[in-house]
Amino acid sequence: MKEINFTSSFLSYDSFEELPTDIQELMNQAVEIRKKAYAPYSQFKVGAALLLDNGKIVLGSNQENAAYPSGLCAERVAIFHAGSVYPEAKILKIAISAASDTNQTKAPIPPCGSCRQSIAEYEIKQDTPIEIYFMGEIGAIYRSASLKNLLPFMFDKKFL
């Protein structure tokens, strides 16, 4: 038996103002689209803004459904929209903002497991890392240079 270790590396920005200007703008769009989320059941709203290599920004917010789990997370709404409208474009960066209607989210909220797998599919497809920035409502913002930091054992087509 042997132990296997993985190391993940993230940057932590203590405040919104520390972010590079282009990321501030992308995160502002994630915050604004988050406010339009349809989350009557969880009261937990998420917004995602994707920057594509063609300069387009694609937005998504979580969409819940009484027939759980028929809804979709913000990240997947944005990624699937980008994949259908701009199939040849690469996703360069994703900004994610999450907030609860019942309590203030103070810690960075990362993508859920399903969203991590969806981001992994596009990162592998485009053979280019996707920068991921995520935050709560207030507080620190984390940056991952690649989805591999969040999902070191990625499942992909080579296993099929």
pLDDT tens-digit readout, 47-56: 999 999 999 9
Q: Distance (Å, rounded) from C-alpha 55 to C-alpha 98? A: 24
Asked if residues 108 and 136 have their Cβ atoms less than 8 Å apart, the reply is yes
Whole-number pLDDT of residue 101: 96
CATH of domain 12-150: 3.40.140.10
Kindly tell me if the per-residue pLDDT of 68 is higher than 90. Answer: no
Whole-number pLDDT of residue 89: 98
Asked if residues 123 and 79 have their Cβ atoms less than 8 Å apart, the reply is no
Residue whose C-alpha is closest to residue 133's, from 6, 47, 43: 47
Of the residues 64, 75, 123, 131, only one is catalytic, namely 75
Which of 32-41, 52-61, 66-75, 151-160 shows the lowest per-residue confidence on average (mean pLDDT)? 151-160
Q: What is the pTM of this model?
A: 0.94
Tokens 């309590």 belong to which residue?
103
Give the type of residue at 111.
P
Helix (H), strand (E), coil (C) string for 4-20? CCCCCCEEEECCHHHCC
Whole-number pLDDT of residue 128: 95
Whole-number pLDDT of residue 71: 93
Tokens 């190391």 belong to which residue?
7
Q: Distance (Å, rounded) from C-alpha 76 to C-alpha 111? A: 10
Return the percentage of the chain with pLDDT > 90, whole number. Answer: 90
pLDDT tens-digit readout, 90-104: 999 999 999 999 999
Kindly tell me if the per-residue pLDDT of 106 is higher than 90. Answer: yes
pLDDT tens-digit readout, 108-160: 999 999 999 999 999 999 999 999 999 999 999 999 999 999 998 888 888 88
Kindly tell me if the per-residue pLDDT of 59 is higher than 90. Answer: yes
- Asked about 75 being catalytic, the answer comes back as yes
